[in-house]
Amino acid sequence: MDENTKGIPKFWMHALKNANEECLMGLIESHDEEVLEYLTDITVQLNEAQNNGFTLRFHFAENPYMSNSVLTKVYTLREDPDPDSPLEYDGPEIISCKGCTIDWKEGKDVTKTIVKLKKLKPKKGKNVPDKEITKEVKADSFFNFFSPPAHTEGKEEEMTDEERATLAMDFDVGFAIKEKIVPRAVLYFTGEAFDEDDDEFEDLDTEEEEGDDSDEMD
C-alpha cells in the first residue's frame, strides 16, 4: 500500500474467506482466492416494487481472469403460503434463482480443470513422444455459485436429488451473503464477527465454583 491506495486491498477476498465455513458452505477454494482479490464490492438491490426478491452484485476491478466487471445473482421469493402446503408457511422463502454467464479469459476458468485419462505410446519404430488423453471436467469453485441448476417454480418434481441439494445450499448461501456478510463485512474482515456470540452467554462455571467455595467455607 502507498499514499495513492484507495480502500483496503483484498478487503472482500479476506471477508469472504473468513466467512467461508460459517456462511458460504466452504464454497471458496484456494484457486478462487486469486480471482477474488479483484473483488471491489458486493451490493444488494431489493425488488422493492413487488417485494419478491433481491439481486446480489459482485463488482470486480479489471483483472486477467474474466472480462465481466459485475457478476449478478437474482433471487425470487414467495411472499404468500404455498397453495399446496399452506400450513407449512414459515415466512417468505426463495423459490428460484438465476445466475449469469462468466466470460473467462482463455485458460483462466477456475470452474474447470483438466484430468489425464491415459497415455498412448507410439507404435514400435516411430520416434514420437507419448500422447496423453485428457478431459475437461467441472471443478469445485465459488464461481459455480453463478451457475445454479435451471429451476422454475412448479417444476420441483422434475429435479434430481443432487439438484435439490445444490439449490438448498445455494439458497442458504444467498441469504447469508445478503443478511450477514454484506451488512457486517468489516466484522468478517477483522474476524470480530465470530466473537460476538460469546458475549451472549454467562460463565455458569464461574458461578458454580463460587457457590462451591461458599459451601466449603460454611
pLDDT of residue 201: 44
CA distance 203 to 199: 10
- Specify the range with the lowest mean pLDDT, choosing from 88-97, 148-157, 161-170, 189-198: 148-157
C-alpha cell at 81: 403460503
Whether 110 and 65 have beta carbons less than 8 Å apart is answered as yes
Whether 182 and 191 have beta carbons less than 8 Å apart is answered as no
Q: Express each pLDDT in 83-102 by its tens digit.
A: 666 666 666 667 788 999 99
* Better-scored residue on pLDDT, 96 or 72: 72
Mean per-residue pLDDT for 149-170? 69
**Residue 187 pLDDT greater than 80, yes or no:** yes
CA distance 47 to 55: 8
* Better-scored residue on pLDDT, 78 or 112: 112
Q: Express each pLDDT in 51-71 by its tens digit.
A: 678 999 999 999 999 999 999
Q: What b/e string do you get for 91-110 counting C-beta neighbours within 10 Å, with b at 16 or more?
A: eeebbbbbbeebebeeeebb
Partners of 74 in the beta sheet?
A: 55, 98
- Specify the range with the lowest mean pLDDT, choosing from 70-74, 127-131, 161-165, 198-202: 198-202
pLDDT of residue 48: 72
Q: What b/e string do you get for 166-180 counting C-beta neighbours within 10 Å, with b at 16 or more?
A: bbebbbebbebbbeb
Domains of the chain: 11-104+141-211 (3.30.1120.90)
C-alpha distances in Å from residue 215, one per residue of 202, 205, 208:
22, 15, 11
Q: Express each pLDDT in 29-50 by its tens digit.
A: 999 999 999 999 999 998 876 6
Q: Express each pLDDT in 100-158 by its tens digit.
A: 999 999 999 999 987 776 666 666 666 666 666 768 788 999 999 999 876 544 555 56
Whether 8 and 15 have beta carbons less than 8 Å apart is answered as no
